[in-house]
Chains A and B, each alone.
Chain A
């Protein structure tokens, strides 16, 4: 009889033990696999929520703008932002990876109403795209989100300071891209309240075309923001974008990944590595549990080893038999677990998990959905880990048992 046939028969003979062991291995693997996707989704959500208001996953500006970024020098805007978008969209490696690509202008303004004035930060982008970025539409407390040209969405703090209500006229003064003085009147379409002072008291959102008119720009924008399907890819994507822009003849631009946009980004990078560590610890725990489960299973079989030995089976074959059994069991459990985990990840990558319940107390404009990530490489690694651990654990005690005196082995159970 071939060894593997014998191993299979052994597994089939003690169905309950096989099922229990494989089930345990499987459930552990399923959870590790799901956590892998969940941690990925969790970090994606954190990184997206951090980057969406400002830099995006990839940020393109002119080099001149980049140098003086924190002063938001509107004059150094990208004239050809439409061509920039085209050039980025036609990069073969980024096909299907771009979730949002948008032109945006951030600039300082003086808001005026009657005799009160206030400095404020204006963010202008495509109102529809901004629903997925700034997400201020989720925090509108009065009135409604931007609907037509000339609409402005202001923070509750600004509304209070300037005594503005929905429907009122708001005057905006700013320095134009040509250093002239720009002026435009807006209608307050909505007032948002996030309960975060720095947003409510400072932020003011308008549509991109209104901003261009205010700033005296025929087109273009100060930034082109790209959100990718995977924030981890941004470091690799940035040079591709830079190369594509160069090839398209768009000179003097700077394309950087979110990880290079300042101290807070570095903190996020640190956090994301922290979660990698956490995942490794969880994977270790999974492996440990599998090891235990397998050890328990092998412990049960000492008597059998004794009998096989007494029947004259050579120790080498006994070893191989048990190794095969363990590996098969590990493979069965791991494969089932990983496949099920991946299925879960695929489902939740599509439908997402709603985490908004935890945030009922405030209306922070962030995405509360966590979409699990699907990492095929990690899945493969996990199956290998499961099989490896199961095999190793089956091997070590079996070797000991195989060398034992048969009588001892039979008695030891």
Chain B
């Protein structure tokens, strides 16, 4: 270590208070930048997570005929051997942790007075809860039992519109696979939060035995949905899903495997349009932090111009004086930036592990269909740590360099007179 470095370090330590003030402003600025970047990614993520948890899943496998006519919910275009397909999915991509079959269909939900068309889903209650979150959003009552053939879980909004409550029966009528009508009463065993509305999947859930009693024994499985452990970032999640889809396309060429990206296209497009605005916000945060950093470093250099005079009088060269001050700035900058990384890391760690409860953040807000138990989680973005640190060092270097250069060029006598 050079002598100048040593002197610089000692000076930094000697002016503890000044260093602390500069360090703190850097810490807070860079820490907030890292946290903000993380939460912005988290906000992007929450919409995609909702899709994964309630409608698209990590990966959706259907027949090409079904996909072509998906709006029509064609019940005659089901998957021939769903068990084999599910086994094949698990085998083809070890990243897939769970699979579940589903069949979507239209029903008329009625209380014998009014009726309203609703989207319904036939599910395998045990497997479905491993893939989708609907089961955990049962607000009142319980999720479907696997063998129950006369039970339904219904979205609160549907029940409310029909004036029904837990334990009542709901009359469901639907077009069967035989192209005739069937209707029956189902006991409402569970009411789900209005997540269904948000997700667009369905507002009424039946077990396969119940759905088959209504729509016919031959009711096919029309889609297989898969789940995977949550990836560290949105991009990783999308890439993982796309990779899984291509693996499956090879393993199951007769079926169509669609990754999240296919379903989130519109959202991802909108996100891109948002990104420039978000970038601007981030830049402004850094600029505000820079104002603080530059000011404190400038002040600390100016307040020591007299010291420069003393050093020069002792015979130190102008270049060395400049170096000394720049190094002091760099040391302060490095320490402050490091503190910023620690603060940012702590904030991100908290937001990523505990998450910010949406209901906590917006307690008295009427959120309508937002899942009440939704949690906004921060994302780890290593890039922002690197950016934050580099930014801190760069700004301190620049801030120290300018006055140091000027001061170093001063005559010792002028410097000593400087107030």
CB of B332 within 8 Å of the partner chain: no
Chain A 359-375, CB within 8 Å of chain B: the 1/0 string? Answer: 10110101010100000
Known: A282-B285, A289-B288, A358-B276. A24 touches B265 (CB 8 A): no
The answer to whether A296 and B18 have CB atoms under 8 Å apart is yes
Nearest-Cβ distance from residue B419 to partner chain A, whole angstroms: 7
The answer to whether A285 and B289 have CB atoms under 8 Å apart is yes
The answer to whether A292 and B281 have CB atoms under 8 Å apart is no
The answer to whether B370 and A267 have CB atoms under 8 Å apart is yes
The answer to whether B296 and A292 have CB atoms under 8 Å apart is yes
Q: Which of B100-108, B168-176, B299-307 contacts A (4 or more CB under 8 A)?
A: B299-307
CB of B148 within 8 Å of the partner chain: no
The answer to whether B302 and A16 have CB atoms under 8 Å apart is yes
Known: A28-B288, A34-B284, A292-B21. A366 touches B273 (CB 8 A): yes
Chain A 267-294, CB within 8 Å of chain B: the 1/0 string? Answer: 1011101100110011001101100110
A296's partner among B36, B43, B300 (CB-CB below 8 A) is B300
Q: Which of A95-103, A143-151, A192-200 contacts B (4 or more CB under 8 A)?
A: A192-200
Find chain A residues with CB under 8 A from B365 CB: 269-270, 273
Find chain B residues with CB under 8 A from A142 CB: none
A263's partner among B194, B273, B285, B298 (CB-CB below 8 A) is B194
In the complex the two chains form, what is the Cα distance from A364 to B271 in whole Å? 11
Find chain A residues with CB under 8 A from B113 CB: none
Interface size on A, residues (CB 8 A): 62
The answer to whether A271 and B285 have CB atoms under 8 Å apart is no
Interface residues of B in 98-151 (CB under 8 A from A): 117
Interface of A, secondary structure class, is helix
Interface residues of A in 183-205 (CB under 8 A from B): 195-198
CB of B277 within 8 Å of the partner chain: yes
The answer to whether A24 and B295 have CB atoms under 8 Å apart is yes
Find chain B residues with CB under 8 A from A266 CB: 198, 366-370
Nearest-Cβ distance from residue B20 to partner chain A, whole angstroms: 10
Find chain B residues with CB under 8 A from A270 CB: 358, 362, 365, 367, 370
Chain A 108-137, CB within 8 Å of chain B: the 1/0 string? Answer: 000000000001000000000000000000
A299's partner among B18, B285, B295, B366 (CB-CB below 8 A) is B18
In the complex the two chains form, what is the Cα distance from A296 to B17 in whole Å? 9
CB of B269 within 8 Å of the partner chain: yes
Nearest-Cβ distance from residue A225 to partner chain B, whole angstroms: 20
Find chain B residues with CB under 8 A from A288 CB: 25, 28-29, 292
In the complex the two chains form, what is the Cα distance from A71 to B28 in whole Å? 52
Q: Which of A38-46, A72-80, A169-177, A242-250 contacts B (4 or more CB under 8 A)?
A: A38-46
Interface residues of B in 325-366 (CB under 8 A from A): 358, 361-362, 365-366
Nearest-Cβ distance from residue B186 to partner chain A, whole angstroms: 23
The answer to whether A297 and B299 have CB atoms under 8 Å apart is yes
Chain B interface size band reads 35 or more
CB of B82 within 8 Å of the partner chain: no
In the complex the two chains form, what is the Cα distance from A282 to B40 in whole Å? 14
CB of A342 within 8 Å of the partner chain: no
Find chain B residues with CB under 8 A from A286 CB: 288
In the complex the two chains form, what is the Cα distance from A274 to B278 in whole Å? 13
A289's partner among B291, B299, B303, B368 (CB-CB below 8 A) is B291
Nearest-Cβ distance from residue B109 to partner chain A, whole angstroms: 14
Most chain B CB within a 10 A radius of its CB, from A20, A119, A299, A364: A299
B273's partner among A273, A300, A359 (CB-CB below 8 A) is A359
Known: A24-B292, A297-B299. A285 touches B28 (CB 8 A): yes
Interface residues of B in 247-303 (CB under 8 A from A): 265-266, 269-270, 272-277, 280-281, 284-285, 287-289, 291-292, 294-296, 298-300, 302-303
The answer to whether B367 and A269 have CB atoms under 8 Å apart is yes
User: Which residues of A are at the interface with B, using a C-beta cutoff of 8 A?
Assistant: 14, 16-17, 20-21, 24, 27-28, 31-32, 34-35, 38-39, 42, 45-46, 49, 71, 119, 195-198, 260, 262-267, 269-271, 273-274, 277-278, 281-282, 285-286, 288-289, 292-293, 295-297, 299-300, 355, 357-359, 361-362, 364, 366, 368, 370, 413
Having A35-B284, A274-B376, one finds 4 other A-B pairs with CB under 8 Å, namely A20-B298, A71-B117, A196-B265, A270-B362
The 4 A-B pairs at the shortest CB distance, nearest first, are namely A263-B369, A289-B292, A266-B368, A24-B295
